[in-house]
Amino acid sequence: MEPQRGILFVLSGPSGVGKGTVCAELRRQVPELVYSVSATTRAPREGEREGINYFFKSREEFENMIRNNQLLEWAEYVGNYYGTPRQFVEDTLEQGKDVILEIEVQGALQVKEKFPEGVFIFLAPPDLEELRNRIKGRGTETDETINNRLEAAKKEIDMMDRYHYVVVNDRVELAVQQIEAIITAEHLKKERQISRFKNWIHST
Ligand code: 5GP
């Protein structure tokens, strides 16, 4: 049987919706899902590690990555660059493994242009007041940054209709279960199964 390519899953949604938490729990539940570590120019937060949470880059290094076409997508988000290293994603999919990107909305839309066969999941806040509180509640950012993140979130919610699925992040465990259901359903799609059956039909 010819090896199947992996599926690219893109988990995206507004700032403060809890993408990081949901993605971390999803990775615990589905260890075979390969997480793509992003590059960023923002400074590491306490406890963050190079190559685990992000590849931390200077602006110059990041701009070189853009110029050399090393990024599948990139976005400037609240004053910093964030981007997905291209080669790792392509190689991993080629090896038949599923990949998950946890990225903001502008980047997700760029990936959709290049990988229309990817599966785009929008993580939505249960209500907008809750979202506002979560953005404010992180406590590690200045007022200006918080306001910028809030404005960005409003624009991002407007982008929901470009995605294939919407998961409301009311309870993390439930959101993770629903994303697991999406992953299962995507693997069961006729398009991913049919060649195996066709080969059998034609070989007997
Ligand atoms: P944070 O600074 O809180 O880690 O991330 C800020 C935002 O950048 C989050 O919405 C996160 O999902 C997004 N992000 C992280 N990595 C990437 C990436 O590689 N590309 C894009 N476009 N966004 C990213």
My answer on whether 20 and 108 are in the same domain is yes
103 CA distance to ligand 1 middle (Å): 5
199 CA distance to ligand 1 middle (Å): 42
Q: Which of 8-12, 111-115, 127-131 is predicted least confidently?
A: 127-131
CATH of the domain at 70: 3.30.63.10
| Res 1: pLDDT | 55
Phi, psi dihedral angles at 9 (to 5 degrees): -105, 135
152 CA distance to ligand 1 middle (Å): 12
Using 50, 70 and 90 to split pLDDT, how confident is the model at 192?
confident
Using 50, 70 and 90 to split pLDDT, how confident is the model at 193?
confident
Pocket test for ligand 1, best of 22, 38, 114, 120 (most atoms within 8 A of CB): 38
Nearest to 149 by CA among 130, 164, 128, 132: 132
| Res 138: pLDDT | 67
Between the ranges 14-23, 134-143, 171-180, 187-196, where is the mean pLDDT highest? 171-180
My answer on whether 111 and 92 are in the same domain is no
My answer on whether 17 and 43 are in the same domain is no
My answer on whether 126 and 158 are in the same domain is yes
For the chain, the domain total comes to 2
Query: Given the CA of residue 84, which atom of ligand 1 is nearest to it?
Result: 19
- Bridge partner residues of 99 (DSSP): 8, 34
| Res 64: pLDDT | 98
Query: Given the CA of residue 71, which atom of ligand 1 is nearest to it?
Result: 19
Of all protein residues, whose CA lies closest to atom 3 belonging to ligand 1? Answer: 15
Q: What is the pTM of this model?
A: 0.90
My answer on whether 125 and 198 are in the same domain is yes
My answer on whether 122 and 203 are in the same domain is yes
CATH of the domain at 27: 3.40.50.300
| Res 146: pLDDT | 85
Would you call 28 exposed, middle or buried from its count of C-beta atoms within 10 A (0-12, 13-18, 19+)? exposed
Distance CA 113, CA 25 (A): 28
